[in-house]
Copies of this chain bind each other. A is one copy, B any other.
Amino acid sequence: MDDKLLLMIPGPTPVPERVLQAMARGPMEHRSKEFTSILLDVTENLRWLHQTRSDVYIFSASGTGAMEAGMINVLSPGDRVLCGVNGKFGERWADLADTFGLQCERIETPWGQPYPVEVFAEKLQTDTEKTIKAIILTHSETSSAVANDVQTLSALAREHGEALVIVDGVTSIGCMNLPMDEWGVDIVASGSQKGYMMPPGLGFVAVSERAQEAAKHSRFPKYYWSFAQARKDLAKGTTPFTPSVNLIYGLQVGLEMMKKEGLEAIFARHRQLGAATRAGVKALNLKLLAPESSASEAVTAVLAPEGIDADKIRSVLKKQFDIATAAGQDHLKGKIFRIGHLGFVSGRDILMTLACLEVALQQVGYSNFVPGASTEAARQHLS
């Protein structure tokens, strides 16, 4: 049914009407006082969202652009880094590191398992020469629905004393608690089409004072991504290059909505949505890819029943109910499907998705569950 699409994918996520309407206003001069006032307002709210007193820069870019910026501004060619890899976005960090000639050690675990904190600990604690310049992490690994323990890993890096903590916060900012200053995180990269309740097109990079200091010694050439230039211009209430004026109109409204809801309430809502989704899926006797102790609150990855192609389930959900879910990526294609529950999502979206999932499962020949069990199980987490 045209225009009936419901996005239950981990990005793009649903966008509130008032954000869409804000974007539909004609652009203004980006060097005007009026725009400066919007930019400063938005920047202040981004600091609030990142729980930091440091700068947060807005780039016209996807989240990957923000990741690239976060890496090349604070490191130099040949730098030794430890990179956690347990999914597609960890792979992306490692690919970025390889592309830019970092000496990248991948700390790998199978997709679906969290980082092995003890391996990071051992490497950091035995690095008496302080050759490790950064640990590079993915907070919420979107491809496998795993939340990695950024808090403990950051503490290890702070003990180490030299290693920066660079974090992909793409599906965690605005969903899961990532108090940058308190945890000692140096770089958080994210994108607008996730917890921000925005369309894609803006990349954000929060930069600690330690990272700003490191940036002074970075030997990668940088122009579009330059933090130094972004910092200088932000202090004057502007941006180095023409910003995405209309997306920033939308961002302003989205951030206001988030502020009104409050950080704690946002995190609690995502915890509820995650718990409800996982409970619903388990009540259908389906297995989760990630252990619940390391579950992302933004997305849930579900193993398709034995012998059934996950994409067939997704296809019914899309065709019959206009519900978009996400496919498994790379070697998990056809084996899992993923339900996004981040951003402008509420309990009713979960109940609806589970109810439709029951229908879809029956249609593809799986009926190893009590009809209604999933919504009943989910309901208990939604009060």
Please report A residues at the B interface, Cβ cutoff 8 Å. 3, 5, 7, 9, 11-12, 14-15, 20-21, 23-32, 60-65, 68, 95-96, 99-101, 191, 193, 199-201, 203, 221-224, 240-247, 324, 327
Contact = CB atoms under 8 A, between A and B. Distances in A.
Contacts of A62: 60, 224, 241-244
Contacts of A191: 242
B15 A26 contact: yes
A169 B64 CA distance: 26
B200 A243 contact: yes
A60 B201 contact: yes
Contacts of A99: 221-223
Contacts of A15: 26-27
Contacts of A63: 241-242
Contact of A199 (B29, B65, B223, B246): B246
Contacts of A200: 27, 30, 60, 242-246
Contacts of A3: 25
Contacts of A101: 221
Interface hub of A25, A191, A224 (most chain B Cβ within 10 A): A224
Contacts of A100: 221, 223
A296 to B, nearest CB: 18
A244 B14 contact: no
Given A223-B100, A241-B63, A26 B11 contact: no
Given A11-B242, A29-B9, A64 B221 contact: no
Nearest to A30: B12
A168 B26 CA distance: 25
Given A61-B60, A200-B60, A246-B199, A20 B11 contact: no
A96 B65 contact: no
Interface hub of A23, A30, A199, A243 (most chain B Cβ within 10 A): A199
A221 B99 CA distance: 6
Contacts of A244: 62, 199-201, 244, 247
A26 B5 CA distance: 9
A7 B246 CA distance: 14
23 contacts: A7-B26, A9-B29, A12-B30, A12-B245, A14-B26, A20-B24, A20-B246, A21-B24, A27-B193, A60-B60, A60-B65, A62-B241, A99-B221, A99-B222, A99-B223, A193-B242, A199-B245, A200-B243, A201-B245, A201-B246, A201-B247, A244-B244, A244-B247
A100 B31 CA distance: 27
Given A5-B26, A20-B23, A247-B247, 4 more contacts: A12-B30, A61-B224, A68-B224, A199-B246
Contacts of A12: 27-30, 242, 245
Contacts of A23: 20, 23-24, 246
Contacts of A26: 5, 7, 14-15, 20
A200 B193 CA distance: 17
A240 B64 CA distance: 10
A348 to B, nearest CB: 17
Contacts of A95: 223
Contacts of A31: 327
Nearest to A191: B242
A9 B246 CA distance: 17
Nearest to A327: B31
A220 B171 CA distance: 30
A224 B60 contact: no
A73 to B, nearest CB: 13
A3 B221 CA distance: 41
